[in-house]
Structure 1
Amino acid sequence: MTDAPNFNDYDQPIGAALPDWKPRAAPSRTPIEGRYCRIEPIDVERHAKDLYEAYAGASDGRDWTYMSGGPFPDFDSYYAYATKLASSTDPLHYAIIDRETGKAVGTFALMRIDVANGVIEVGHVAYSPLLKRTRAGTEAQYLLMRRAFDELGYRRYEWKCDALNAPSRRAAARYGFIFEGIFRQAIVYRGRSRDTAWFSIIDGEWPAISRGFQQWLSPENFDAQGQHRTGLAALISAAKA
Structure 2
Amino acid sequence: MAIREGNPLGPIVSTNLAQRPSQNVRLVGQYVTIVKLSARHADAFYPQISGPENAHLWDYMFDGPYDDPEVFRARLGANEISHDPVFYAIVLNGNDDDIVGIASYLRIEPTHRSIEVGNLMYSAQLQRTPGATEAMYLMARYAFEDLGYRRYEWKCNALNAPSRRAALRLGFTFEGIFRKHLVVKGRNRDTSWYSMVDEEWPAIKRALEAWLDPTNFNGEGRQQKRLEEFR
Matched, 1:151 2:146: yes
Cα offsets for 1:131-163 (capped at 9, x unmatched): 101111110000000000011110000000111
- Give the secondary structure class of the aligned counterpart of 1:161: strand
Which piece of structure 1 moves more, 52-61 or 72-81? 52-61
Partner of 1:141: 136
- Give the secondary structure class of the aligned counterpart of 2:168: helix
| 1:73-222 aligned within 5 A | 73-99=67-93, 102=96, 103-222=98-217
CA gap 1:135/1:57 in 2 versus in 1, 3 angstroms? farther
| 1:4-43 aligned within 5 A | 5-8=1-4, 10-18=5-13, 20-29=14-23, 30-43=25-38
Partner of 2:226: 231
Partner of 1:60: 54
| Aligned-partner Cα distance in 2 for 1:178–1:84 | 32
In the TM superposition, residue 58 of structure 1 has moved relative to its aligned partner by 7.4
Structure 2 residue identity aligned to 1:97: V
Which piece of structure 1 moves more, 172-181 or 67-76? 67-76
| Aligned-partner Cα distance in 2 for 1:53–1:192 | 27
Contact between 2:140 and 2:152, CA under 8 Å: does it hold in 1? yes
| Aligned-partner Cα distance in 1 for 2:212–2:94 | 16
Structure 2 residue identity aligned to 1:146: R
| Aligned-partner Cα distance in 2 for 1:76–1:84 | 12
| Aligned-partner Cα distance in 2 for 1:132–1:58 | 18
Which piece of structure 1 moves more, 65-74 or 114-123? 65-74
| Aligned-partner Cα distance in 2 for 1:234–1:74 | 44
In the TM superposition, residue 17 of structure 1 has moved relative to its aligned partner by 1.5
* Unpaired runs of at least 5, structure 2: none
What RMSD, in angstroms, separates the aligned Cα atoms of the two structures? 1.4
Partner of 2:39: 44
In the TM superposition, residue 120 of structure 1 has moved relative to its aligned partner by 0.1
- Give the secondary structure class of the aligned counterpart of 1:142: helix
Contact between 2:49 and 2:57, CA under 8 Å: does it hold in 1? no
Relative to the length of structure 2, the TM-score reads: 0.95
CA gap 1:200/1:162 in 2 versus in 1, 3 angstroms? same
Which piece of structure 1 moves more, 128-137 or 92-101? 92-101
CA gap 1:33/1:58 in 2 versus in 1, 3 angstroms? farther
Relative to the length of structure 1, the TM-score reads: 0.91
Q: Which runs of 4+ in 1 moved over 6 A?
A: none
